[in-house]
Structure 1
Amino acid sequence: MMSDYINLVKLCVGVDSFDQLQAYIDATPGEARGHVTRMWPKQEDALLNGGSLYWVIKGVIQARQHVTGLEEVIGADGVRRCRIVLAKPLIRTQNATRRPFQGWRYLKPEDAPADLPKGRESEQELPPELAQTLAEIGLI
């Protein structure tokens, strides 16, 4: 089935857990919220039609944020970049393993992990190695 939107998936470098990413988001002022990247998404219209950015933490997709916009950012070096503006709520997802990659990748809605059901989103996080092993064998 064709979707009207597309998602992105991105490695969350330097972050070891969902809680650490949540703390970073909570401490980020609204005008700086988002992720700055060198490339502008070619599927901009589909991304802005309901897409999310899925975060890979320690080799496992663990969370997502709804994409609310794209903004041009000119760096101190004069290079044009894209800020992917993200909604503040960080949504915990079911775990899904991902191999390392550079930049970001498109993620079709049918390939995206589901959000954790209501009531489970505040469960204590599993250690990264255990979460990755369980996701690899399809148990979470």
Structure 2
Amino acid sequence: MPGHVHILKLCVGAESVEDLVAWQDSQRVRWPEGRPRHITRMWPKRADEIRAGGSLYWVFKGQILARQRILDLEPVTGPDGIERCALVLDPDVIRTSAAPRRPFQGWRYLAPADAPADLPQGRASEETLPPDLAQALAEIGLR
């Protein structure tokens, strides 16, 4: 969808896509309409572009492996009285081709042109390249 932007986030606490899915399934009763929420400290300045069709791309152990469509952004006030941003996510976790990413804190915007392709439906993963080779390919723009 033109005019949109994605968010890239490390999936802290989950070792795999299966861990993320299991955790979200276990928390579903806590979320309105069963839609997962990811709370972040900062409100995105590009909120309209995110709402226009963005996804949250999850990084596991240095590789983007999955995404979830961002359905909305909602203000949430924490127990400390500070307002934060809840990314309201589609419950469907879509697996993507592996794309290497270096560690970072917080989240980053991800241009649609830089987002990895979705894997065909029903395909849980793709054969992983050795990390050095994957990084070299990414650096020259081939992955």
- Relative to the length of structure 2, the TM-score reads 0.84
The residue number in structure 1 matching 2:68 is: 65
1:48-93: per-residue Cα shift (whole Å, max 9, x none)?
0110000001111000000000111101100000000000000000
Task: Report the CA distance shift for 1:108/1:118 in structure 2 as closer, same or farther (over 3 A).
Answer: same
Paired residues, number: 135
The residue number in structure 1 matching 2:24 is: 25
Task: Report the CA distance shift for 1:27/1:131 in structure 2 as closer, same or farther (over 3 A).
Answer: farther
Identity %: 52
Pairing 1:39–2:38 present = no
1:19-56: per-residue Cα shift (whole Å, max 9, x none)?
11111122222427211011001101110011000000
Task: Report the CA distance shift for 1:115/1:131 in structure 2 as closer, same or farther (over 3 A).
Answer: farther
Q: CA deviation at 1:131?
A: 6.1
Pairing 1:90–2:93 present = yes
Q: Are the aligned partners of 2:98 and 2:126 in contact in 1 as well (CA < 8 Å)?
A: no
Unaligned runs of 5+ in 2: none
Q: Are the aligned partners of 1:16 and 1:58 in contact in 2 as well (CA < 8 Å)?
A: yes
The residue number in structure 1 matching 2:5 is: 6
Cα RMSD for the two superposed structures: 2.3
Determine the C-alpha separation between the residues in 1 that align with 2:113 and 2:107: 18
Unaligned runs of 5+ in 1: none
